[in-house]
Structure 1
Amino acid sequence: MARPPRNQALDLSEPIDLTAGVIERLACPPGKQQAFLRDSKAPGLRVRVTANGAKSFVFEAKLDRQTIRRTIGDVRAWRIDAARAEAFRLRVAMDGGDDPRVLARQREEAKAAAAMQAVKEAVTVGDAWKLYLQARKPKWGVRHYADHEKLAQEGGKAVTRGTRGTGKTKPGPLHPLLSLKLSDLTPSEIEAWAAQQGQERQTYGRLAWRCLKAFITWCSEESDYKAIVMMDAAKTRKTRDAFGKAGKKKDVLLKEQLPAWFAAVHALPSPTLAAYLQTLLLIGSRRGELLALRWTDIDERWRGITIRDKVEGERQIPLTPYVWQLLSALPRVNQYVFASPVKEKAHLSDPNGGMTDACTAAGLEGLTIHGLRRSFKSLTEWLEIPAGVVAQIMGHKPSATAEKHYTVRPLDLLRVHHERIEAWILEQAGVKFAPPRATAEAQPEPTKI
């Protein structure tokens, strides 16, 4: 039988044995957008041709009285026998009650999920740590955020002090973990890390461990990480034992030690540092809160100080007479009360050196700057000051329901107790100070009618 000429139109109403020549002769009838040529060997296999001449293999069948049509592929990419095999496979799936379109969608979804899981599992601890800091930054104070950055710092930065002679900063305790995949943050990895950090720097490592546990908890609540992070990875007994228990610090100024300490502080060459240390003892604030004190935080008229509080945001305490004498005598170099002698627009950065010198001169080795805050609380016991008053001055959270919800102490009531505390400490220290007598009490301006 002679081969029909190429320009002869095919009969699309009847199935035909598909060959390369037949497919080549296939053309879309005039006036139609597409047409289909059925294969006589594979039921359901069609060749679709569009008006612009594009041709592809298509599978077509009925499922639940609905026509199911699925594209197999371009005729230039698929061989005829491969297209027939795919049509047979789809026919078998349909005979089992499965919709090929649903199966294809499920395969694509599974493939996409596997790819997404692979991406998630490739996330490192360092990648998640950066996102963790960004997410928590609005909830944290500046100092708390900076502490977290320092825990993960790379190290190796050239500095002049605080490096024990190396001249370069040490990596943060969490830095060795940053290169690990988040999925590899296992108990065994953390235990090995804890063993090393516990030997090199137990106290700082313990802080890093607490922050690491908080970070893992955050990851376990994030949709992108909760499936790949181990919630209890940092809570094993070996990790806990590596850091040990934090000891209670008891460095405190006794009443009998006040004269020697005040005399040593007065002898410091820096008036700013001497004023800072005395004020720290007399108001019981945290070290960083007082360092960040600005001149605008002092209200001379109403005799108050606004402290940037890490617990409540800020708190107001009385500006006692001796403290005001110390502060008013300082030069106003910049916006900070305790201005840095080195940096033009900064406050004191490291008062530890002056504190150590003063304690050495007074024979009080071991007393820390935070010990002054502890001393303020302890010394008030001699005067039987209400615990709630002391807590409010120091910025501690109320510990009882009545303190939280019912007791409101205005500034003038706090001043009664605070000035009594200051006067008693100065008396025990042998510091001669006569509070200036106010010519007139601070009064609000009369209301104009």
Structure 2
Amino acid sequence: MARPKKTDAPDTSQAIELTAGAIERLNCRADSKAQSFLRDTKVPGLRVRVTNTGAKSFVFESKLNRQTIRRTIGDVRIWSIDQARTEARALAVMLDRGQDPREIDRLQHESRRASKAQEVAREVTVGEAWTAYVAERRPHWGELHLRDHLIKASPGGEPSKRRGQTDRKTQPGPLAALMPMRLSSLDSTAIESWAAAEGKTRPSSARLAWRLLSVFLRWCAEQQQYAGIVPTQNPAKSRKAREALGKAGVKSDVLTREQLSAWFGQVRQIQNPCIAAYLQMLLLTGARPGEVLALQWADVNTQWKGISIKDKVEGTREIPLTPYVAHLLSTLPRRNEWVFSSVYALDMSPTNVRRRAEKAVHMGVDAPVGDVKMRGAGGKLSEPNTPHTRACKAAGVEGLTLHGLRRSFASLTEWLEIPAGVVAQIQGHKPSATAEKHYKRRPLDLLRVHHERIETWILEQACVKFDTQAERKNLQAVPSPDPILQLV
């Protein structure tokens, strides 16, 4: 057999000692194969691969657990033959130890990716993580809880929506100072410094913000992207932070039996019937202020004398529709779906005002369009703190809050020795005993017996003349007394 010439391409079926010339002459038949391999005799497993496009590279090929493993070492234009042999020997030693190079590379890749992700996470600010937290937990929160998270972290600077203060700007929330910080820097020292500053100016608001922050940090510790940069022990749960914010005082604003007459006398003189009825209903039902504001006409059952209240504890609860409360509701106008509706305008632009004025003239209505003002978003009454404060001042019972009316209901029932479980069920409190929680289920009729007794006694003490035995009026749709309001 004739010896091949040095200018001929090497035979890929035979192993040879790799040289630069042999690698240079190596080629692949483009008509039959996609690639060809030239084996090295000095290092078993080392090969030069050439594709039908002419690309050449060093590869290592061997077996592990009866499976072929092929690893690319590098381009022949970059790697020298000696470098490729050294790398091939290292891979052979690895296989001899039972280690899979592919698995090692995968672990190293994951480690590098985790390190890079951790570096990125260390640059995440508290505000960015807070936004992600609110977005994820939003479906599980109620409207008020979501509002607390947004307000406490608000940067402020927006026009105030408070009546008479529209020319002012809102103040930053208690947590606004922490939002620009890096999450990795939010440790106990930073939170204690924040608590010391906020506790001096607005401790009540800061205490709520601190509780929200504590839950937020616990959520961060459970997230894979933040777990490595947040301390294992919650940094918000610090004794110094808790002491700096102080303890919430026990609120004691409540109506006594002697003050009922003066309070009812002033509240019933409030010109807005919705506000007057709302305040009286708060006292006579003991419901939360927000629960009563959220009442819709669909929640009032005049046939079975019941009211369905959206409860933050149980979801909804049924309370009796007592005679005097039914009388109050029957006098309210049905402007929209809300029981305690408010005059509102969706668009107070000059163009819209002019159009409504022209329509009023066409209808023969003389009431000035300018009287229609924004009083409640979406047509629902907002909490009437100012009218109630004025009424309380005139009655000589200053300091009584809307929630104080709920507290007054529970306190006044002590005069009648009403069972505590009945009062708790009407007010929507959690059962405080095993028997109340697992055994006693009071139907609406049984609650009505006690609730009507409470209402009658409160009205008697308030010197409000109302005959509960008289024929009860059915709730009807009462049109608004002001025709211009129907244009809104």
Give the TM-score, by structure 2 length. 0.82
Preserved contact between residue 335 and residue 345 of structure 1 (Cα < 8 Å): no
Q: What code does the residue aligned with 2:421 have?
A: G
Let me know the Cα RMSD of the aligned residues. Answer: 2.7
Rounded Cα–Cα distance in structure 2 between residues aligned with 1:361 and 1:90: 92
| 2:24 match | 24
SS of the residue corresponding to residue 37 of structure 2 reads strand
Deviations 1:20-68 (A, max 9, x none): x432210125744433223466564321113343311112456677654
Preserved contact between residue 46 and residue 85 of structure 2 (Cα < 8 Å): yes
Rounded Cα–Cα distance in structure 1 between residues aligned with 2:136 and 2:38: 59
| 1:305 match | 307
Per-residue deviation, 1:385: 0.4
Equivalence map 1:210-289=2 (5 Å): 210-230=211-231, 231-289=233-291
**Range with bigger deviation, 277-286 or 175-184:** 175-184
Rounded Cα–Cα distance in structure 1 between residues aligned with 2:239 and 2:442: 45
| 1:179 match | 180
Deviations 1:350-404 (A, max 9, x none): 3100111011111111111111100000000000001111111101111111111
Rounded Cα–Cα distance in structure 2 between residues aligned with 1:253 and 1:317: 22
Distance 1:177 1:62, change over 3 A: same
**Range with bigger deviation, 269-278 or 170-179:** 170-179
Does structure 1 residue 345 correspond to structure 2 residue 410? no
SS of the residue corresponding to residue 383 of structure 2 reads coil
Question: Runs of 5+ in structure 2 lacking a partner?
Answer: 344-374, 475-488
Rounded Cα–Cα distance in structure 1 between residues aligned with 2:104 and 2:315: 57
Distance 1:382 1:47, change over 3 A: same
Distance 1:65 1:294, change over 3 A: closer
Rounded Cα–Cα distance in structure 2 between residues aligned with 1:158 and 1:380: 43
Rounded Cα–Cα distance in structure 1 between residues aligned with 2:422 and 2:297: 25
- Identify which of 423, 433, 437 aligns with 1:404: 437
Rounded Cα–Cα distance in structure 2 between residues aligned with 1:65 and 1:276: 82
Rounded Cα–Cα distance in structure 2 between residues aligned with 1:350 and 1:66: 75
Distance 1:382 1:108, change over 3 A: same
Preserved contact between residue 192 and residue 241 of structure 2 (Cα < 8 Å): yes
Rounded Cα–Cα distance in structure 2 between residues aligned with 1:185 and 1:222: 16
Distance 1:316 1:76, change over 3 A: same
Q: What code does the residue aligned with 2:209 have?
A: A
**Range with bigger deviation, 53-62 or 300-309:** 53-62
| 1:189 match | 190
| 2:125 match | 124
Preserved contact between residue 16 and residue 37 of structure 1 (Cα < 8 Å): no
Distance 1:99 1:434, change over 3 A: closer
SS of the residue corresponding to residue 359 of structure 1 reads helix
Per-residue deviation, 1:313: 0.8
Per-residue deviation, 1:309: 0.8
Question: Runs of 5+ in structure 1 lacking a partner?
Answer: 442-449
- Identify which of 420, 432, 440 aligns with 2:465: 432
Q: What code does the residue aligned with 2:340 have?
A: F
Preserved contact between residue 163 and residue 170 of structure 1 (Cα < 8 Å): no
SS of the residue corresponding to residue 48 of structure 1 reads strand
Preserved contact between residue 303 and residue 320 of structure 1 (Cα < 8 Å): yes
Distance 1:439 1:360, change over 3 A: closer
Q: What code does the residue aligned with 2:140 have?
A: K
**Range with bigger deviation, 403-412 or 136-145:** 136-145
Distance 1:66 1:18, change over 3 A: farther
Deviations 1:297-319 (A, max 9, x none): 11112111111111111111111
- Identify which of 324, 327, 350 aligns with 1:325: 327
Does structure 1 residue 367 correspond to structure 2 residue 400? yes
Rounded Cα–Cα distance in structure 2 between residues aligned with 1:60 and 1:160: 74
Rounded Cα–Cα distance in structure 1 between residues aligned with 2:318 and 2:61: 80
**Range with bigger deviation, 198-207 or 183-192:** 183-192
Rounded Cα–Cα distance in structure 2 between residues aligned with 1:49 and 1:215: 57
- Identify which of 441, 456, 477 aligns with 1:423: 456
Q: Which has the higher contact order (CA 8 A, sep 6+)?
A: 2
Rounded Cα–Cα distance in structure 2 between residues aligned with 1:440 and 1:232: 58
Identity of aligned residues (%): 57
Preserved contact between residue 18 and residue 40 of structure 1 (Cα < 8 Å): no
Rounded Cα–Cα distance in structure 1 between residues aligned with 2:254 and 2:36: 94
Q: What code does the residue aligned with 1:9 have?
A: A
Does structure 1 residue 391 correspond to structure 2 residue 424? yes
SS of the residue corresponding to residue 345 of structure 1 reads helix
Rounded Cα–Cα distance in structure 2 between residues aligned with 1:175 and 1:81: 62
Per-residue deviation, 1:273: 1.1
**Range with bigger deviation, 184-193 or 214-223:** 214-223
| 1:296 match | 298
Q: What code does the residue aligned with 2:429 have?
A: H
**Range with bigger deviation, 312-321 or 261-270:** 261-270
SS of the residue corresponding to residue 379 of structure 2 reads coil
| 2:52 match | 51
Rounded Cα–Cα distance in structure 2 between residues aligned with 1:298 and 1:58: 81
Rounded Cα–Cα distance in structure 1 between residues aligned with 2:16 and 2:314: 83
Rounded Cα–Cα distance in structure 2 between residues aligned with 1:197 and 1:428: 44
- Identify which of 390, 406, 418 aligns with 1:357: 390
SS of the residue corresponding to residue 378 of structure 2 reads coil
Q: What code does the residue aligned with 1:345 have?
A: G
Q: Give the number of equivalent residue pairs.
A: 437
Per-residue deviation, 1:84: 3.9
